[in-house]
A and B are shown apart, each in its own frame.
Chain A
Amino acid sequence: MGTLACGKVHIMEYVISVLLSGISVGGQYALIAIGYTLVYGILRLINFAHGDVFMVAGLLGIYLTATLPIPVSLPLVIVFTVLLGFTIERAAYKPLREAPRMSVMISAIGVSYLLQNTATYVTGGQPMTYPTIPFLSDTVNVAGTQTKWVVIITPFLVLILVTFLTMLINRTKVGMAMRAVSKDFETSRLMGIRINSVISVTFIIGSALAAVGSTLFFTNYPAITPMAGAMPGLKAFVAAVFGGIGSIPGAVIGAFIIGICETIIKGLPSNWDVSVFSDAFTFALLIVILAFKPQGLFGEAAADKV
């Protein structure tokens, strides 16, 4: 998290280091937030398990790099995470397609509970150390501030991935189907769109991005616990709401804002004792945005007002 701890940091270096790590954390949230916003756009479901999929991706990273070389294991992490996301959708959400929305959300909470408990069982409840990935974990000097390469790379990687994703959604047939389904579920089904495959594609994209996000996120953090996914997951969801649920640029911008604000709060002088509020701030932001601008920054005004 940069070098905020030293007492006498030059003000410029301090600002740069806060901004750098804020943007990097924001980028990692953005990768998770896209998964939320896509799924919510299509299924109107807060996929509570998404944060835990992210955590499992982190654990997969640990277990796979322990046995396989990194160029093999990192793609495998993505593959397995995608499989996990796909399976969760097929097993826990698809049977409830006709059920009330609340049942699906309860199912999502159940999946989250299952993933956390399974992770506790597998890891024995011990915090697991994420492996050092060459290059990403190496330090670099930016304007007098020591930081890791991952911090520099994250925002660019996020931009590249988001550009690809936007192209996928706007230019391809699958993307067109996704947009149609998110506009009107029933009508697009009548138009011959295979709803189930569109939903699967959504979950696959979301999980793949979460897997990439987990590699970036946990490289910067000391350890993974079974609960490690819950908080980033919820924050990413808030980011998605903040930016306007269903909007990818909105989710990304929301995530960057939340990441930067959070780092600023964490970086405030320690005698203010406000660092406990770095999580709470996100939720305060959520309540404020829901109270005053429920459609978020870039969201379309909700049609189902009644």
Chain B
Amino acid sequence: MTTTKKNNLPTILVIAGLLIFVIILENIRSVFPFLPQIFDPMSPLFTVLKKAAVYSLVAVSMNLLNGFTGLFSLGQAGFMLLGAYTYAILTVPAELKDQVYYLFGGCAFQFSFVDFFKGIFGATGVPGAISMVLGCLIALILAGCVAGFFAFLIGFPVLRLKSDYLAIATLGFAEILRAIFQWQRLGPITNGANMIKGFPTFSSFNITDGSGRVVLQLSTFVPFLITTVCVVIIVLLINSSYGRAFKSIRDDEIASEAMGIKLFSHKMLSFVISSFFAGVGGGLFAMYVANAQAKAFTSTMTYEILLIVVIGGIGSVSGSIIATFLYVACSEWWLRFLDSEQYIGGFKVPLLRNGFRMVVFSVVIMIIVLFFSKGIMGSREIDLNSLFVKKDKKKGQK
């Protein structure tokens, strides 16, 4: 942390440039309507960018735990679930609650942050926008806090366990949470097994004029901004003395204990922080899919994120981010053609039908796991400060 501000300036510039680039990218077609369909805000490009921005936060948070602290946890989906539900419950506007919770005769929890701030600042125009942004922001932070708090509670029994027992215990914890949130008795709060919807999503951040026409698209920029802020915080943490303690625990628990590092409290710190960001990621995920539903947060989701981390390189933040964008782009966009019948000339390509994409995908993943176990980046990082001389590898240009 002794690096001078001058040294970090290129990094800040690159990140700021990237964020501005995202805004330009999603608005460019409204200025130049002749541009190809791909620049339309509804195109797969922006779906991929949004989803990847959300997933990269979760992947980085998982990497903090698995890659930097050496704690093999598989509870990520559970913490995302907590975050998603916290965000959703706290931001559904009061007038929609009866409609969303109609099966349970309305919601037991009438409070909504968005309404709360609207009461202070006003509900329309610029004050209305400020209320919504503030409400969502606070709800997201609380989403992280709830996830972090549960991580703190579950950490006491679980963090004393060794590697694979820790994995299966955290996986079990996520499954327990999933069952609790689907419990009909909690329906007035969690809406039972049904989805919660009606809360502000990414597209709520688009700036519209009086008639509802979008003036400025911000729906891709918002997840990018939040993820960037969170990832920067995580990177700062990794580069701090805490981060060095995490890495030493990963490399040798006994040696680092002998050096005076308190094992349990550092593991707990890493677990809680990782879960905090997984919770924020869960809130973002709810915004991305525009609903919160417990059955979405399965162990398969955790496996998916784990595989992303492995592809990117366990112990590399930039690797996780690159891998997320590649993974999401492949699964949502580039490999879509494998799922439908294709003809080359008159020849029908065999095997192609629904589901083939995921088979190809999992074979590729197995190849990476078996033969390229270091992943894309290994434990190296992209040094943004030296980016002006090196090859440009910004995440948004995928």
27 A-B pairs within 8 Å (CB atoms) are namely A92-B366, A96-B373, A99-B373, A101-B164, A105-B164, A106-B307, A106-B369, A109-B306, A110-B362, A113-B365, A114-B362, A116-B300, A117-B361, A118-B359, A121-B354, A241-B165, A276-B182, A276-B184, A276-B193, A277-B180, A277-B183, A280-B179, A280-B180, A283-B172, A287-B158, A290-B157, A290-B169
A110 contacts B173, CB within 8 Å?
A: no
Q: Which residue of B lies closest to A280 (CB)?
A: B179
Contact of A286 among B160, B169, B358 (CB under 8 A): B169
Let me know if A222 is at the binding interface, CB within 8 A. Answer: no
Let me know if B171 is at the binding interface, CB within 8 A. Answer: yes
B366 contacts A114, CB within 8 Å?
A: yes
Let me know if A13 is at the binding interface, CB within 8 A. Answer: no
Contact of B165 among A114, A282, A294 (CB under 8 A): A294
CB-CB under 8 A for A121 and B168, given A101-B163, A109-B303, A287-B173: no
Q: Which residue of B lies closest to A226 (CB)?
A: B355
Let me know if B15 is at the binding interface, CB within 8 A. Answer: no
Let me know if B120 is at the binding interface, CB within 8 A. Answer: no
B176 contacts A280, CB within 8 Å?
A: yes
CB distance from B143 to the nearest CB of A (A): 22
Q: Which residue of A lies closest to B309 (CB)?
A: A106
Residues of A within 8 A of B361 (CB): 117
A286 contacts B168, CB within 8 Å?
A: yes
Contact of A294 among B161, B362, B363 (CB under 8 A): B161
Q: How far is the CA of A237 from the CA of B373 in the complex (A)?
A: 26
Q: How far is the CA of A238 from the CA of B165 in the complex (A)?
A: 10
A117 contacts B157, CB within 8 Å?
A: no
Contact of A120 among B158, B172, B355, B365 (CB under 8 A): B355
CB-CB under 8 A for A273 and B184, given A109-B306, A286-B169: yes
For A, the interface residue count at a CB cutoff of 8 angstroms equals: 49
Per-position binary interface string of chain B over residues 318-332, scored 1 when its CB falls under 8 Å from any chain A CB and 0 otherwise? 000000000000000
Residues of A within 8 A of B180 (CB): 277, 280
Residues of B within 8 A of A96 (CB): 370, 373
Contacts between chains A and B (CB distance < 8 A), count = 132
CB-CB under 8 A for A238 and B172, given A99-B373, A106-B306, A118-B359: yes
CB distance from A273 to the nearest CB of B (A): 4
B179 contacts A105, CB within 8 Å?
A: no
CB distance from A53 to the nearest CB of B (A): 15
Within 8 A of B (CB), among A79-122: 91-92, 95-96, 99, 101-103, 105-107, 109-114, 116-118, 120-121
Per-position binary interface string of chain B over residues 157-199, scored 1 when its CB falls under 8 Å from any chain A CB and 0 otherwise? 1101111110111011101101110111100000001000000
Contact of B157 among A44, A103, A114, A291 (CB under 8 A): A291
Top-7 shortest CB links A-B = A283-B172, A280-B179, A121-B355, A291-B157, A117-B358, A114-B362, A280-B176
Residues of A within 8 A of B168 (CB): 46, 234, 237-238, 241, 286
Let me know if B203 is at the binding interface, CB within 8 A. Answer: no
CB distance from B302 to the nearest CB of A (A): 9
Contact of A114 among B171, B172, B310, B359 (CB under 8 A): B359
CB-CB under 8 A for A103 and B355, given A283-B175, A287-B173: no
Query: Apart from A96-B373, A105-B164, A109-B307, what are 8 other A-B pairs with CB-CB below 8 Å?
Result: A110-B362, A113-B300, A120-B358, A125-B355, A234-B299, A238-B168, A273-B185, A276-B182
Let me know if A253 is at the binding interface, CB within 8 A. Answer: no
Q: How far is the CA of A109 from the CA of B365 in the complex (A)?
A: 10
Q: How far is the CA of A161 from the CA of B254 in the complex (A)?
A: 43
Contact of A290 among B165, B306, B363 (CB under 8 A): B165
Let me know if B72 is at the binding interface, CB within 8 A. Answer: yes
Q: How far is the CA of A103 from the CA of B168 in the complex (A)?
A: 15
Let me know if B356 is at the binding interface, CB within 8 A. Answer: yes
CB distance from B292 to the nearest CB of A (A): 17
B356 contacts A105, CB within 8 Å?
A: no
Let me know if A230 is at the binding interface, CB within 8 A. Answer: yes
B179 contacts A306, CB within 8 Å?
A: no
Residues of A within 8 A of B193 (CB): 276
CB-CB under 8 A for A110 and B182, given A238-B172, A290-B165: no
Most chain B CB inside 10 Å of its own CB: which residue of A99, A107, A112, A121: A121
Q: How far is the CA of A116 from the CA of B354 in the complex (A)?
A: 14
Q: Which residue of B lies closest to A288 (CB)?
A: B157
A286 contacts B172, CB within 8 Å?
A: yes
Most chain B CB inside 10 Å of its own CB: which residue of A96, A238, A273, A283: A283
B355 contacts A287, CB within 8 Å?
A: no
B366 contacts A107, CB within 8 Å?
A: yes
Contact of B365 among A110, A124, A286 (CB under 8 A): A110
Contact of A95 among B175, B306, B363, B370 (CB under 8 A): B370
B175 contacts A280, CB within 8 Å?
A: yes
A102 contacts B72, CB within 8 Å?
A: yes
CB-CB under 8 A for A92 and B370, given A44-B164, A283-B176, A290-B161: yes
Residues of A within 8 A of B369 (CB): 103, 106-107, 110
Q: How far is the CA of A41 from the CA of B351 in the complex (A)?
A: 40
Q: Which residue of A lies closest to B180 (CB)?
A: A280
Let me know if A133 is at the binding interface, CB within 8 A. Answer: no
Per-position binary interface string of chain B over residues 340-383, scored 1 when its CB falls under 8 Å from any chain A CB and 0 otherwise? 00000000000001111011011101100110010000000000
B183 contacts A287, CB within 8 Å?
A: no
A112 contacts B161, CB within 8 Å?
A: no
Most chain A CB inside 10 Å of its own CB: which residue of B178, B306, B370: B370
A117 contacts B359, CB within 8 Å?
A: yes
Residues of A within 8 A of B356 (CB): 121
CB-CB under 8 A for A283 and B173, given A107-B369, A117-B362, A241-B168: yes
Residues of B within 8 A of A282 (CB): 172
A113 contacts B183, CB within 8 Å?
A: no
Residues of A within 8 A of B172 (CB): 234, 238, 282-284, 286-287
Q: How far is the CA of A78 from the CA of B75 in the complex (A)?
A: 34
CB distance from B155 to the nearest CB of A (A): 12
Q: How far is the CA of A113 from the CA of B358 in the complex (A)?
A: 9
Q: Which residue of B lies closest to A273 (CB)?
A: B184
CB-CB under 8 A for A111 and B158, given A124-B354, A286-B169: no
Q: How far is the CA of A110 from the CA of B369 in the complex (A)?
A: 8
